[in-house]
Amino acid sequence: MEGSTWSTQTTSGGIMKLKFTKMQGLGNDFIVLDGIRQSFSLSVEVIRQLADRHFGIGCDQLLLVERPTSPEVDFRYRIFNADGSEVEQCGNGARCFVRFVHDQGLTDKHQIRVETARGIIVPRLESNGLVTVDMGAPVFEPAAIPFQAPTQSLTYPLELNGSSIEISAVSMGNPHAVQIIDDLDTAPVAQQGPLIEHHPRFPNRVNAGFMQIVDRSHIRLRVYERGAGETLACGTGACAAAVSGMARGLLDADVTVSTRGGDLRIRWQGEGHPVLMTGPAVVVFSGEIELGA
Ligand SMILES: N[C@@H](CCC[C@H](N)C(=O)O)C(=O)O
């Protein structure tokens, strides 16, 4: 691993200067922090301050690049939602992660192995500038999501304020509840999203996906994300929606997912196989921010 060490400067007034890069994948935006060449401590309050769109830099998630804890992987990847909660997985972030470590000279590899809170993922920079990520295999077992259900099923009824919706429950490392709706433009994302996110049957909260099936190889998707609200795109949400449709026999094995921020390609060969996600990863700007210590 290359790269020199920067020191974070703390002034006598207790102000810490932190270098950051702002990135986005289909409009799902990130603050990326190099935790290898600079040392700092992050609290929930600091993350919320950085993520604030009016008083901070602004982001849906903050991504932390760290040294790996095992020689089998190249980096450790930690993810925090805008509300400060640490989460297991982030698909759009994974694409930005490999572009960041490559652009910053932290590795010269085009394919890296990355340790996350839920296993190893493998992002690869393609020659056309897109990034493909092996996101690992999806899990449909309720206990792994976690989701309170008596038995495993491809769909479940979920009570919401007296009415019932039908969801698929999928873990892509992080938890997703996906429902099929007729028209994405009129989907009740803002109304149902928070109710699904905090539903008592999902003790760790959940990301709420709203999927419109256009045809067997094309879906449209909006996601109300746990800890961030509706985002322009959600990579793990796209994987979860696509595999839930594939597992139910509604979709083919290679699907285009249209989000409000653009398109992702999702491929899955079926049970036990990893989900492959392909899409862009873009640097917006880099800078330095002063934080009160
Ligand atoms: N935007 C992400 C998912 C980020 C984490 C999610 N909000 C959660 O709490 O699980 C993606 O692209 O996958």
Q: CB within 6 Å of ligand 1 — which residues?
A: 28, 60-61, 81, 87, 90-93, 174, 207, 225-228, 231, 234-236
Is 10 a member of any domain?
A: no
* 110, 127: one domain: yes
The ipTM value here is: 0.99
* pLDDT of res. 277: 98
Are 98 and 150 within one domain? no
Q: Which residues form the domain of 264? A: 142-273
What CATH number corresponds to the domain at position 237?
Answer: 3.10.310.10
* 74 found inside a domain: yes
Residue 2 counted as domain residue: no
Which residue's alpha carbon is nearest to atom 8 within ligand 1? Answer: 226
Question: Looking at the structure, do residues 80 and 146 belong to the same domain, yes or no?
Answer: no
234-264 pLDDT per residue, tens: 999 999 999 999 999 999 999 999 999 999 9
Separation of CA 50 and ligand 1 centre (Å):
17
pLDDT at 94 > cutoff 90:
yes
Mean pLDDT, rounded, of the chain: 95
Catalytically annotated residue among 59, 96, 234, 239: 234
* Residue-wise DSSP of 158-197: EEETTEEEEEEEEESSSEEEEEE-S-GGG--HHHHHHHHH
Q: What is the pTM of this model?
A: 0.95
How much of the chain is in helix, strand and coil states, percent to nearest 5?
15, 40, 45
Task: Clarify whether residues 64 and 110 are in a common domain.
Answer: yes
**Is 90 assigned a catalytic role?**
yes
Asked if residue 99 and residue 169 are part of one domain, the reply reads: no
What is the per-residue pLDDT across 6-23, written as a single tens digit (0 to 9) for each? 545 444 567 788 999 999
Flag whether 86 is in a domain.
Answer: yes
What would the mean pLDDT of 161-173 be, rounded to a whole number?
Answer: 97
User: What is the C-alpha separation between 233 and 83, in angstroms, rounded?
Assistant: 18
Helix (H) or strand (E) holding 102: helix 91-103
pLDDT at position 2 is: 35
Residues 81 and 195 in one domain: no
- Residue 257 CA, ligand 1 centroid: distance in Å: 16
- 239 CA: nearest ligand 1 atom: 13
The total of structural domains in the chain comes to 2
Cα 228 from Cα 241, distance rounded (Å): 18
146 plus 255 within the same structural domain? yes
Distance (Å) from CA 4 to ligand 1 centroid = 31
